[in-house]
Amino acid sequence: MITLDLEKFLPAEPVVLFDLKDYLFMGLILKEKDFRAAMQQHDWTQYQGKNVAVACTADAIIPVWAYMLVAAHLQPYAVEVIYGTVDDLKNQVLMKNLQQLDVAEYADKRIVVKGCGEVSIPDRAYLEVTKKLRPVAKSIMYGEPCSTVPIFKKK
């Protein structure tokens, strides 16, 4: 029996938020000239090896090009750059990592997908891992090895 812990598919690198609200004039408006100057002066090396979520937590209208400019500066340093919250980033990396799961090592095995961990895993991840493993697994269960809920059994 193999226990599969979905927490291991979460980002291994630090996750940070780049918030555009810090660059708004009077907390409301993004001025192109000032924003471009701030982006040129910003120390982008601080994002080396990190996952970065880019968002604006202020209630402001941000032009699309501003997100593009931030992404262009972040990409040489960050492991992953996404639009959204830190939770969005964690979920997106989790899903990406699950898609890369090599199912060959689970062929004809009994698998317990661990539940009740220390970190909240989105329901979507459990659905995706089931879809990925079902064609190869002998059986799939949810929970802990001592107390499982049967999900699938090959006939």
Q: Kindly state the DSSP code that residue 46 receives in the 8-state scheme.
A: G
Structural contact between residues 95 and 123, judged by C-beta atoms closer than 8 angstroms: no
Residue 117: band (very low, low, confident or very high) from pLDDT cuts 50, 70, 90: confident
| 66 token code pair | 């501003």
Q: Is 81 a residue whose pLDDT tops 90?
A: yes
Q: Which residue, among 19, 13, 7, 9, has the nearest Cα to 78 in the 3D structure?
A: 13
Pairing of strands 139-144, 147-153: antiparallel
Question: Contact at 8 Å (CB) between 13 and 79?
Answer: yes
Spans of all domains in the chain: 2-10+91-153, 15-86
Indicate whether 145 pLDDT > 80: no
Tally of CB atoms within 10 A around 121: 21
Give mean pLDDT, residues 130-146.
93
Residue type, 107: A
Distance CA 70, CA 75 (A): 9
**What is the pTM (predicted TM-score) of this model?**
0.85
Give percent helix, percent strand, percent coil of the chain, each to the nearest 5. Answer: 40, 25, 35
Strand-by-strand arrangement of the 15-19 sheet: 15-19, 51-55, 80-83
| Coil, strand or helix at 152 | strand
Q: What is the mean pLDDT of residues 62-89?
A: 97
